[in-house]
Each structure stands twice: as structure tokens, then as C-alpha cells.
Amino acid sequence: MSCCSEKPVIALNSGDRLCKTHFTEYFENKVLKTIRQFDLIGKKENLGIALSGGKDSLTILHIINKLSMQNPKIKITAIAIDEGIEGYRDKTLEKAKDFCNENNVELHVFSYKEEFGLTLDEMLKILDVKPCSICGIFRRYLLNKKSRELKLTKLATGHNLDDECQSILMNQFKNNVEASARLGPKAGIINDKHFVQRIKPLYLCTEKEVTAYSFTKGLLDNFSECPNAIHSFRAQIRDMLNDMESKFPGTKYSIVNSFLQILPLLKQQFKDGAKDGAASAVKSCIKCSEPSSNEVCNACAYLERLNGKSGLLDVING
Amino acid sequence: MSKINIKVYIDKENLSKITELNNGSIVSDLLKNLKINPVTVIVSRNNELILEDEKLNDNDELKILSVISGG
């Protein structure tokens, strides 16, 4: 059913067809409702936004910036990570910088090259590893460390319903229940002073809704995919889920909604395990002092492997 | 049956092409012809989003934008 006499720009699973104005209202209300439902943002926050320059992070920054203008007690700061992916991240970072300049948002950019001595492209020339695995470890490491150093109270990421749905299935397929316990609109299991709470205000918004919103708001004119992501396990799960969604509309909502019912139990189980000194307990990495579940954190473990083979890079680069 | 020509730009492949469809075709017919899952894209005409049941006209210029981004 159409919302009004204006031309619809999106058809929802419910059958509702919304015009640009009513879709904007629907989408922004959905994000605000998610924030309230899961208590994601308090009355006073020094809130970080993990900004890649892609549609998801620009959308969340756009909406939270509006919220911040209405409520000066919510201060926002954007953090971008430059992994060093030639032909991809340089373009999205330009978008991120332009947006922050135009909207007067403080932006901090941290690069793998400056922080670890190598770009992701260089790391992948040295180690034969899955790009998304190593990249994710270094990105999460930097986001948490820099957020804490900037004294941010929380860090909002652009993860949407599709991302969450993919993660749930990936963890199921890999029998990684603890990784699932770390999911949810409030990521993580344990409240620890070394962790900055990560929140996902787009948790209940589909990727298609986010794209439609960013398009109608003129936030992005070119939607690109990371060149490393194309052959990833996540990409295969994503394609399978999109196939199921087109045959059985509502599949993604069903997966996430059923997951939300068991998530508190999962979090409690691993929280209790941590208290009893199980592997999920938070330790400090003996090399960098960042939080880790092992003696040496995953980032330092990768750096050791990279340093051991860094002579290879000189050979590769001639 | 008479035919219509649709000029399509597919952003994911950075590809422009002309697709011939039966007169009276709608957006979902075009996506089916191009073997694109409608869940994975949004479609615009004259910089306005259009729905899958929108009727297409001869010489329409459409953009098919992938909703998949990031990594």
C-alpha cells in the first residue's frame, strides 16, 4: 500500500510502499528506535563514529550528527582507519574527509603504515593469509586503542542487519559460539576498562534500506566493494542469504530476531566462563598491553610473523 | 510483439549497455534479463529511485546500483 500520492522509492517487506519523505522518516525513526530499544546511547556521551567513507558509516554519521546537534551533551568524533588498499580506501577516505569538513565533524585518521609500518597491500605480499582476517584484526585493534586514547565513551559502527546476519551464519558454520556471543547491537561480552563499547545503531536496517537512504540523501554517488572481499567466506554467505531472501522475503529479519532471543543467554554463559578463568577472560598482551584472550594478542602475533618475513617485501618491491 | 531499448549502467561492473525488452516490461523483467537478484540492487531513473514494478519506456536510461559495499 502506498503511503501517499507521492511516487514511492522503496517497497518494504510489509508491503508498504514509501515515498522519499516518508521513507526518510521511517528509516531515521527505525535507527532512533534501535538506539532506545537497546540503550545504545546515553544522555551524555563522547561518541566515536567508525568512519570508512562507505554508505553505512556515512549514514550513521549523518543521523547521529543530527542527534548531536539537537543534544549538545552528545559530542561526536569520527575515526577512520587507512588500511592501505590502493584504489579503494583512498577513494572512500576522500568521501569521509569531505563529509566531515562540510559538517564540521572532528575526524582522526590512523593508518596501518604509520601504526604498524606496513600497508595491508604490503602485508598481503608477505603473508599468505586471508585478507579479511588479518585486516579485521588490525582494524579492530586500532579502533579500540585509538577510541580509548581519545577518551571516547562508545564507538558506533555502520554494521547493518545484513552484516549481522552474515556473521551469525558464519559463526554457525564454523562452530564458533563465542564469536556469536560477541555479536549483537552492543558488541562484546565483558565490560572492561580496556574495551570501548562498540554499538550498532543500524542493527535492524537492511543493506538495501541503508543504500536507498544514502542515495536519497546524496551521501554517496558510487558504491564500491573492497577488492579483497570478493572471494571471502563472508561474500559466499552473503550471496546465499540474498538468494534465500529473494525466494523467502523476511529471511534475514527472522535470523536476526531469533538470534536476539538467545543472545542474552550466550553473553551470560561466556561472561560466567570469563569469571571462572576460562579462555574468554580478558588478559593484557605481554607485548603491547592491549586487551587479549591470549598471552600475545592477535595483532602482535601477526606483527611477529610479518617482522620475521619483512625482508621479503624488499625482494618483492625490487 | 514490439520491443523497447533500455540503456543501463551497472555500477558494480562499471558497465553501460543497451538491453532490448518486450514493450510493457517492468524493472523486474530487466533485472531478470540481466540475471541480477533484486535484493542486491537499487534502480534509479533520472536520479530518482524506482520500484521493481515500474513500467519501462523506450530509451529509458537506468542506473543499477549495488547495495553491497565495504568488506
Once rounded to an integer, what is the mean pLDDT over residues A285-305? 89
What is the distance between the alpha carbons of residues A150 and A77, in angstroms, rounded to a whole number? 9
| B45 close to B60: Cβ distance less than 8 angstroms | yes
Min Cα distance A277 → chain B (Å) is 34
Retrieve residue B65's grid coordinates.
546500483
**A-B contacts at Cβ under 8 angstroms:** 68
Which residues in chain B are contacts of A135 at CB distance < 8 A? 71
Instruction: Report helix, strand or coil for B41.
Output: strand
pLDDT of residue B21: 96
Q: What is the pLDDT of residues A90-144, one digit of tens each?
A: 888 888 999 999 999 999 999 999 999 999 999 998 888 888 889 889 999 999 9
Asked if the model's pLDDT at residue A253 lies above 70, the reply is yes
Which residues of A have a CB under 8 Å from any CB of B?
A: 7-11, 17, 20, 52, 54-56, 132, 135, 158, 207-208, 210-212, 215-216, 222-226, 228-229, 232, 238, 242-243, 245-246
Min Cα distance A233 → chain B (Å) is 11
Q: Which long-range contacts (CB under 8 A, 24 or more apart) does A286-291 make?
A: A290/A141, A290/A144, A290/A145, A290/A194, A291/A144, A291/A192, A291/A194, A291/A195
- Measured from the Cβ of residue A55, the count of other Cβ atoms closer than 10 Å reads 29
Retrieve residue A270's grid coordinates.
561466556
pLDDT of residue A226: 76
Residue B69 to residue A223, Cβ atoms within 8 A: yes
The pLDDT confidence band at residue A224, using thresholds 50, 70 and 90, is low
pLDDT of residue B60: 95
Q: Does B51 touch chain A (CB under 8 A)?
A: yes
Asked if the model's pLDDT at residue A318 lies above 70, the reply is no
Q: What is the pLDDT of residues A66-84, one digit of tens each?
A: 999 999 999 999 999 999 8
Q: What is the pLDDT of residues A9-62, one digit of tens each?
A: 999 988 899 999 999 999 999 999 999 999 999 999 999 999 988 899 999 999
CA dist A309 → A22, A113, A117, A302 (Å):
56, 16, 13, 11
pLDDT of residue A52: 87
Q: What is the pLDDT of residues A254-280, one digit of tens each?
A: 999 999 999 999 999 888 776 665 555
pTM (2 d.p.):
0.91
Nearest-10 crossing angle of helices A251-275, A161-173: 60
| A27 close to A209: Cβ distance less than 8 angstroms | yes
What is the distance between the alpha carbons of residues A185 and A198, in angstroms, rounded to a whole number? 8
Q: Report the residue of B9, B27, B39 to disrupt the A interface, i.e. the one with the largest count of A CBs within 10 Å.
A: B39
CA dist A193 → A24, A182, A262, A278 (Å):
37, 17, 26, 19
CA angle (A184 as vertex; A178, A186 as ends), nearest 5 = 110
Residue A11 to residue B52, Cβ atoms within 8 A: yes
The string over B2-15, giving b where at least 16 C-beta atoms fall within 10 Å of a residue's C-beta and e elsewhere, is eebebebebebeee
Once rounded to an integer, what is the mean pLDDT over residues A181-199? 90
Q: Enumerate domains of chain A plus CATH numbers.
A: 8-280 (3.40.50.620)
State the SS3 of chain A: CECCCCCEEEECCCCCEEEHHHHHHHHHHHHHHHHHHCCCCCCCEEEEEECCCCHHHHHHHHHHHHHHHHCCCEEEEEEEEECCCCCCHHHHHHHHHHHHHHHCCEEEEEEHHHHHCCCHHHHHHHCCCCHHHHHHHHHHHHHHHHHHHCCCCEEECCCCHHHHHHHHHHHHHCCCHHHHHCCCCECCCCCCCCCCEEECCCCCCCHHHHHHHHHHCCCCCCCCECCCCCCCHHHHHHHHHHHHHHHCCCHHHHHHHHHHHHHHHHHHHHHHHHHCCCCCCCEECCCCCCEECCCCCHHHHHHHHHHHCCHHHHHHCC
Q: Does B47 touch chain A (CB under 8 A)?
A: no
pLDDT of residue A282: 76
Residue B68 to residue A246, Cβ atoms within 8 A: no
Q: Enumerate domains of chain B plus CATH numbers.
A: 3-66 (3.10.20.30)
Min Cα distance A230 → chain B (Å) is 8
Asked if the model's pLDDT at residue A179 lies above 80, the reply is yes
Q: Looking at the DSSP assignment, which residues form a beta bridge with residue A8?
A: A19
Which residues in chain B are contacts of A245 at CB distance < 8 A? 39
Residue B69 to residue A55, Cβ atoms within 8 A: yes
The pLDDT confidence band at residue A310, using thresholds 50, 70 and 90, is low
Q: Amino acid identity of A204?
A: L
Q: What percent of chain A has pLDDT over 90?
A: 65
pLDDT of residue A87: 80
> What interface predicted TM-score (ipTM) does this complex get?
0.95
Asked if the model's pLDDT at residue A150 lies above 70, the reply is yes
Retrieve residue A87's grid coordinates.
584504489
List the single residue in B with minimal CA-CA distance to A7: B50
Closest C-alpha to A305, from A129, A127, A138: A127
Q: Does B40 touch chain A (CB under 8 A)?
A: yes
pLDDT of residue A313: 53
Q: Which residues of chain B have a pLDDT value below 70? A: 70-71
- Average model confidence (pLDDT) across chain A: 89
